[in-house]
Structure 1
Amino acid sequence: MNISNRLTPRYFTLILSFMTLFLLFTHTPTDITTDSFDDSIFEASCSCKTCIMDFMDDDWFVYRYDPTITPLLNRKNSALRRDTYKWWRGLQPSSLRVNYTEVVDQMFSLFPDKDHYADTSPDRCRTCAVVGNSANLLGSHYGSLIDFHDVVIRINKGPTKGYERDVGSKTTHRILYPESAVDLDNNTHLVLFPFKIRDMQWLISTFTTGHITRTYTRVKSSIKADENKVMILHPAFIKYVYEKWLLRHGRYPSTGFITIIFALHICDQVNVFGFGASSTGTWHHYFDRSRTHFKGGPHGGDFENKTLHKLQQRNKIIIHKGYR
């Protein structure tokens, strides 16, 4: 009996120790949870299966992608930094002395003065199709896939009529500038890419007096489009694409490349069609035989091409090349 009495406290201590360990591993103290973890890092950035803003631990992408940049111009955000204005005006040197602020005021007395696409939310899933003009679209049968997207962005003069099976029929946004202008239906947003201040003046003219018929070449004096659906890319956004994404390769970015980066900022998923060479290695439009090549012109085409493939490797975009 004496031995039993001496062992009892020891057994009691062991039991208490096991109970303490059990409680420690099955119950996490509240103060440890709140102080050590930030639940927000586990929140989805959108409601799509995959989102552009997922995996923000990718240093390559984080260095380039600025979520605070404003893609589209309005009165409130129109003031340009001195270096931005100097760079932008230098793209197309002109002897014209133009007051930028007055041009902006004129534009937004005609067109919507809004903070576009400020609706990012974990509940949003906006899908974008960026449709280029490559001949690799011919025979692709991508039409229904392209039209399935919420936003379908077409570039310059790329037509749909007669090519619906391969390029689709839906257009929500048409990227253009004076030298690539075409008529639009009332369902399509005209998105001006202003590479020069003359482009903004032309936009005003085409909806009013029609007096501008030349930039550095002859341009359409008027086009059909819904003035309530007009948008203007911010000049600072063009500079951002050039400096952050292209690291100053070339003289300025191509329209197609800017469009893809624009889509990354307004959509949650981006699919790219009609970029690159055809299956035979030729570079021309699907709607004519005009020769194109990513290494031509003032753009850093080779660097743009490599950057697009890096975006695909990182699951930020999907490039549909039109052939197996």
Structure 2
Amino acid sequence: MNIFNRLTPRYITLIFSFMTILLLFTQNPIDNTVDSFDDSIFQVSCSCKSCVMGFMDDDWFIYRYDPSITPLLNRKNSVLRRDTYRWWRGLQPSMFRINYTEVVDQMFSLFPDKEHYSDAGPDRCRTCAVVGNSANLLGSHYGSLIDFHDVVIRINKGPTKGYERDVGSKTTHRILYPESAMDLDNSTHLVLFPFKIRDMQWLISTFTTRHITRTYTRVKPSIKADENKVMVLHPAFIKYVYEKWLLKHGRYPSTGFITIIFAMHICDQVNVFGFGASSTGTWHHYFDRTRTHYKGGPHGGDFENKTIHQLQQRNKISIYKGYR
């Protein structure tokens, strides 16, 4: 007679339970370890040769980089947390009571009110050139290389005319604020970095009444630009850069440093030009003799400089310094 015919259901259940436990203990422990990881962090996140978000296995980078944060402001995401609003308002205290919500509503009745750059994925390869204003660009012959990028971001008043061989002629985005405003052509996005609510008011004014002529200094009441290409950096993004990337060094981040982090959030591959000293160790603009230095001003310049080089060492950005 078959032995199973003599066993009661209770004994059959015990035998199968024992066999199941035995199988679990004899499985390869390495397989269990591999299954516990999220394989998606090792997947290529874009189609470029190297991607900002590729191989997210670097704890230093993962701690700082928040892929969920929105770089640009619109009506839908404009509500600020109380701590964000307090910190941002504290950068430039205003003598006037200004209703932030009303300013935002007025701003996006004039300018595009939409979510930008939400198309990231494994099939996208958007290359970004961040072009600073350092004298190390002079004689670099980087012009054609810079222009080859999909996105060319220039900062403040850095000109191209007369410097095309070294800095290129293409500009897709110009970072500015009232004190650094300049005229733009119709192919360029105006990207306002609002360090204060007054900056948003100035942006509205420059396309409408043109009545704002001062912030903490005299500013241009109007500029030439395409109102359909206006973008506004989110105040929470400035705070994110300050807290997560600069660990609160300095009072607030510099425009150049914010621009690099901004580029890392809208592009898949980021190359940086025109940052740092010239080959002789001098710090000045390529277009004038205005002296600059990363340790000056209210920014944590030394910490910013070290962080930028950390990004290069970790293959998140490439820095072109203009000389060997």
Q: Same fold (TM over 0.5)?
A: yes
Q: Which amino acid aligns with 1:290?
A: T
Contact 2:276/2:321 (8 A) holds in 1: yes
Secondary structure of the 1:119 match is coil
Match of 2:172 in 1: 172
* Structure 2 residue 98 is matched with structure 1 residue 104: no
Distance 2:273 2:77 in 1: 32
Distance 2:231 2:86 in 1: 23
Distance 1:129 1:277 in 2: 18
Secondary structure of the 2:270 match is strand
* Structure 2 residue 187 is matched with structure 1 residue 190: no
What is the CA deviation profile of residues 207-255 of structure 1, one whole-angstrom value per residue up to 9, with x for unaligned ones? Answer: 0000000000000000000000000000000000000000000000000
Call closer, same or farther: CA 1:293–1:35 in 2, change over 3 Å. closer
Match of 1:283 in 2: 283
Runs of 4+ in 1 over 2 A off after TM superposition: 34-43
Distance 2:69 2:36 in 1: 31
Call closer, same or farther: CA 1:322–1:299 in 2, change over 3 Å. same
Distance 1:184 1:36 in 2: 52
Distance 2:321 2:297 in 1: 23
Distance 1:95 1:183 in 2: 29
Distance 2:299 2:42 in 1: 39
Call closer, same or farther: CA 1:145–1:79 in 2, change over 3 Å. same
Match of 2:135 in 1: 135
Secondary structure of the 1:315 match is coil
Match of 2:261 in 1: 261
Distance 1:42 1:153 in 2: 29
Contact 2:128/2:150 (8 A) holds in 1: yes
Q: How many residues are matched?
A: 295
Q: Percent identity between the aligned chains?
A: 89
* Structure 2 residue 95 is matched with structure 1 residue 87: no
Distance 1:304 1:39 in 2: 32
Match of 1:321 in 2: 321
Match of 2:240 in 1: 240
Match of 2:309 in 1: 309
What is the CA deviation profile of residues 90-141 of structure 1, one whole-angstrom value per residue up to 9, with x for unaligned ones? Answer: 0001111000000000000000001000001100000000000000000000
Distance 1:248 1:133 in 2: 25
Secondary structure of the 1:104 match is helix
Contact 2:42/2:56 (8 A) holds in 1: no
Match of 1:28 in 2: none
Query: Pairwise mapping of residues 109-124 of structure 1 onto structure 2 (< 5 A)?
Result: 109-124=109-124
* CA deviation after TM superposition for structure 1 residue 42, in Å: 4.5
Distance 1:138 1:66 in 2: 35
Distance 1:57 1:45 in 2: 13
* CA deviation after TM superposition for structure 1 residue 54, in Å: 1.3
Q: Which amino acid aligns with 1:49?
A: K
Secondary structure of the 1:129 match is strand
* CA deviation after TM superposition for structure 1 residue 44, in Å: 1.6
Contact 2:177/2:199 (8 A) holds in 1: yes
Q: Which amino acid aligns with 1:239?
A: K
What is the CA deviation profile of residues 159-187 of structure 1, one whole-angstrom value per residue up to 9, with x for unaligned ones? Answer: 00000000000000000000000000000
* CA deviation after TM superposition for structure 1 residue 267, in Å: 0.4
Distance 2:210 2:230 in 1: 17
Q: Which amino acid aligns with 1:223?
A: I
Distance 2:35 2:219 in 1: 62
Call closer, same or farther: CA 1:217–1:47 in 2, change over 3 Å. same
Match of 1:273 in 2: 273
TM-score by length of 1: 0.89
Distance 2:263 2:169 in 1: 19
What is the CA deviation profile of residues 11-39 of structure 1, one whole-angstrom value per residue up to 9, with x for unaligned ones? Answer: xxxxxxxxxxxxxxxxxxxx99x967865
Distance 1:37 1:98 in 2: 49
Call closer, same or farther: CA 1:65–1:36 in 2, change over 3 Å. closer
Match of 1:13 in 2: none
Q: Which amino acid aligns with 2:76?
A: K
* CA deviation after TM superposition for structure 1 residue 43, in Å: 3.0
Q: Which amino acid aligns with 1:189?
A: H
* CA deviation after TM superposition for structure 1 residue 55, in Å: 2.2
Q: Which amino acid aligns with 1:135?
A: A
Distance 1:217 1:258 in 2: 23
Distance 1:247 1:55 in 2: 24
Q: Which amino acid aligns with 2:288?
A: D
TM-score by length of 2: 0.89
Secondary structure of the 1:90 match is helix
Distance 1:307 1:40 in 2: 26
The alignment's C-alpha RMSD in Å is 1.7
